[in-house]
Structure 1
Amino acid sequence: MNMSLSVSRWTVAVCTVFTLAFFWLFGPVNQASATINYGEEAAAKAELLIGAPYKYGGISPKGFDAGGFTQYVYKEAATQMNIPRTSAAQYQKGKAVKQKDLQFGDLVFYATGKKGKVSFVAIYTGKGTFVGATSKGVKKVKMSSHYWKERYIGAKRLIK
């Protein structure tokens, strides 16, 4: 006994279209969503400003000081956060973070003047580095270098 099922090309085409439409509407492709890691975005924004000059009291790419730099980056990045102007005032905000737990975008604080008093802030950019407005302009720096290591005070997380 030889049985064969006769199906037209039109029927196959219609079934294929319905199957594709079903998977397109209800499959995983439709459920994709985009998320922003605000810390990574802030760190990336900071890195884009490497090379900007230092200027005492500076708050723009024409010239930054430490607090003006971090304030500018947090405001201009996707976080759009308004943070205080000075490094000392910024140190009063956020949640304290241990150095081993640093994440992109965390603020790192240093005493570059009077011992133990916050006078410098920068943005953590991963792998033990930060970007900040040093006296030689905006630079990427290793936190483990002798100068910075001995002046480290702590870190804060302002980005949730």
Structure 2
Amino acid sequence: MGYTIQAGAFSAVENAANLAKCLTEQHLDAYYFQYRKGLYKVRFGNFQTEEEASREAVILKAMGTIEDFYIVRPSEYATAKETTLGTPYVRDQVVKTAHTFVGVPYRWGGTTASQGFDCSGLTMAVFKLNGLNLPRTSRQQFNRGFSVSRDKLTKGDLVFFDTAGRGDVSHVGIYIGDNKFIHAPRTGKTVRLSSLSSPYYGKRYRGARSYL
């Protein structure tokens, strides 16, 4: 991840969602997230330099699209702190971030909380907020990363399933420990916790990958 623009500090999630939607409609890769309990912020963009990010933010502020803003540096992401705080810290942050999206509606092709998530859109957003870019689809995410056996699953690993019944990966979630994972299931559902031991997901399990 490069430099990202962070804007807004909303007590109402609807206001954060509206700003993210507005930015997305301007072809900016925007998403809101829970900064802490009762406070939501919006991030967007992926710029190579701080100057480039600041320039874009100043333009948007002049247009009245955003108000105050903050440039998030690559060193501030959880993955950048792995050397000093350790991989368990990064994994905890991934799980913590995933929990903030529980309840967001499913939307096929969705990659933001404001528009809804599909399964791989959710994993992309969670990892992006922690400083790591993932491939777009569940199959692509499965084909990369490091293979993890089921008995070695660790918080923050990605778990994959064949929910389409075609013998190939078609669904992904984020393992959070205790044999549970967070995922965006399907149309009409919301982001939720499920169990790897459930009859449905247990028999459709296809493997796991680690990006940490």
**Interval of TM-score (by shorter of Structure 1 and Structure 2):** 0.7 to 0.9
d(CA) in 2 for partners of 1:114 and 1:143? 17
1:35 counterpart (85, 99, 109)? 85
- Correspondences of 1:3-152 after superposition (within 5 Å): 35=85, 37-62=89-114, 63-77=116-130, 80-135=131-186, 136-152=189-205
Which ranges of structure 1 fall in alignment gaps of 5 or more residues?
A: 1-33
Hey, what's the Cα distance between the residues in 2 that align with 1:92 and 1:38?
A: 22
Q: Distance in 2 between matches of 1:39 and 1:157?
A: 10
% identical equivalent positions: 37
Q: Report the counterpart of residue 206 of structure 2 in structure 1.
A: 153
Counterpart code for 1:113: A
Structure with bigger RCO (C-alpha 8 Å, 6+ apart): 1
String of CA shifts for 1:73-125, please: whole Å, max 9, x gaps. 00012xx1011010000001111101110011000000000332100001000
Report SS of the residue matched to 1:150.
helix
Q: Distance in 1 between matches of 2:123 and 2:136?
A: 8
* C-alpha displacement of 1:48: 1.1
C-alpha separation in 1, matches of 2:152 and 2:143: 19
**What is the alpha-carbon root mean square deviation over aligned residues?**
1.1
Q: TM-score, normalised by structure 2?
A: 0.57
Aligned residue pairs total 124
Q: Say which structure is richer in strand.
A: 2
Offset at 1:70? Answer: 0.3
Structure 1 residue 137: Cα displacement: 1.4
How far apart are residue 49 of structure 1 and its match?
Answer: 0.7
CA distance in 1, matches of 2:205, 2:165: 13
Of the two, which has the highest radius of gyration?
A: 1
**Tell me, which stretches of 5 or more residues in structure 2 are unaligned?**
1-83
Runs of 4+ in 1 over 2 A off after TM superposition: none
